[in-house]
C-alpha cells in the first residue's frame, strides 16, 4: 500500500505506539508530522526517517493545537493517539485526577479531531483515534480513564455520521494492554502497590488477553494503515479491537 503524496499528523508520536504508527506511515510514503510535549523525544523519532518532522504541542491546550494545525494544514490523515493512564481505587480518586484523565484522553482527542476535520475540508481524509478496550468495557481502578475512552468512542461514532457523505472516515482503534512504556509504568505501579514481582505484574496484565500476551504496537500500526487504505473507504464509525480476542 502506498500513501505517497499524503500528509499525516500523529499526536503523541514521540514514544510508544505513536512512534510506531508514525514510522509505518512514513514507510508507506506519507509525509508525517508528530507532536507531543517533549520536543527532544519527538526529534529522536523524526531523525529516524526523512519524511517525519516534529512539532511541540500540548494537546490539552486549544491555542497550541490550533497553532499546530495552522502549520500542518492541509492534511489527509489525522491520528489522535496521545493519551495517558493513571490508576487508583475509585473512592480515593481525586477530582483533579479525574479531570486530568478527561483532559488528556478526551479533550485532547476532541481538539485533535476537530482541527483535523477542518484541515480536510474539501478533500477526502481519514480521522483515526487510538482509544482502548477501555472504550468498550470497564476495568477496575481506572474508572476515569475508562470514562474518557468511552467518550472518545462516542465522539468517533457521532463525527463519523456527520461526515459520512463528505469522503472523510472516522474510526477508533482499540488496543488491549500494549507492550509499550505506558504499560511498563502500569507494571511498576502494580509492583509498588502489591509487592508483586515485575513478571507477576506483567502476567496479571497479560491475563486479560485471551492470547496471554501484551499487544505489539506494530499490530496497532497495521490497523491504522489499513484504515488509511482505499480498501477501508466504506469503514467509518467503527471501533477496531486489537486485543487478542478480549471482550
Distance CA 47, CA 155 (A): 33
Number of alpha helices (DSSP H) and beta strands (DSSP E) in the chain = 9, 7
Residue 145 among the catalytic residues: yes
Contact (CB, 8 A) for 46 and 53: yes
Contacts of 228-232 with CB under 8 Å at 24 or more apart are: 228/1, 228/3, 228/6, 228/8, 228/25, 228/28, 228/77, 228/126, 228/128, 229/1, 232/169, 232/171
Q: Which residues pair with 130 in a beta bridge?
A: 173
Residues belonging to the chain: 247
Q: Which of 139, 141, 145, 163 is catalytic?
A: 145
Q: Which residues pair with 117 in a beta bridge?
A: none
Rg (CA), the chain: 17
Active-site amino acid positions: 145
Amino acid at each position: 500500500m502506498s500513501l505517497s503524496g499524503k500528509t499525516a499528523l500523529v499526536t503523541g508520536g514521540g514514544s510508544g505506539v505513536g512512534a510506531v504508527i508514525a514510522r509505518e506511515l512514513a514507510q508507506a510514503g506519507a509525509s508525517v508530522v508528530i507532536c507531543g510535549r517533549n520536543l527532544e523525544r519527538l526529534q529522536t523519532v523524526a531523525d529516524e526517517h526523512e519524511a517525519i518532522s516534529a512539532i511541540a504541542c500540548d494537546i490539552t491546550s486549544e491555542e497550541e493545537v490550533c497553532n499546530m494545525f495552522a502549520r500542518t494544514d492541509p492534511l489527509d490523515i489525522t491520528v489522535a493517539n496521545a493519551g495517558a493512564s493513571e490508576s487508583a481505587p475509585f473512592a480515593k480518586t481525586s477530582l483533579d485526577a479525574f479531570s486530568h484523565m478527561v483532559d488528556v484522553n478526551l479533550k485532547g482527542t476532541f481538539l485533535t479531531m476537530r482541527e483535523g476535520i477542518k484541515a480536510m475540508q474539501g478533500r477526502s481524509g481519514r480521522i483515526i483515534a487510538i482509544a482502548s478496550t477501555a472504550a468498550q468495557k470497564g476495568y477496575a481502578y481506572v474508572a476515569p480513564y475508562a470514562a474518557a475512552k468511552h467518550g472518545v468512542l462516542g465522539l468517533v461514532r457521532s463525527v463519523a455520521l456527520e461526515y459520512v457523505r463528505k469522503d472523510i472516515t472516522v474510526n477508533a482503534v482499540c488496543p488491549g494492554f500494549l507492550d509499550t512504556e505506558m504499560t511498563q509504568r502500569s507494571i511498576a505501579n502494580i509492583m509498588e502497590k502489591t509487592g508483586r514481582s515485575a513478571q507477576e505484574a506483567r502476567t496479571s496484565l497479560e491475563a486479560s488477553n485471551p492470547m496471554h500476551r501484551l499487544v505489539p504496537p506494530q499490530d496497532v500500526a497495521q490497523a491504522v494503515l489499513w484504515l488509511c487504505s482505499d480498501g477501508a473507504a466504506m469503514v467509518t464509525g467503527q471501533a477496531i479491537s486489537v486485543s487478542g480476542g478480549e471482550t
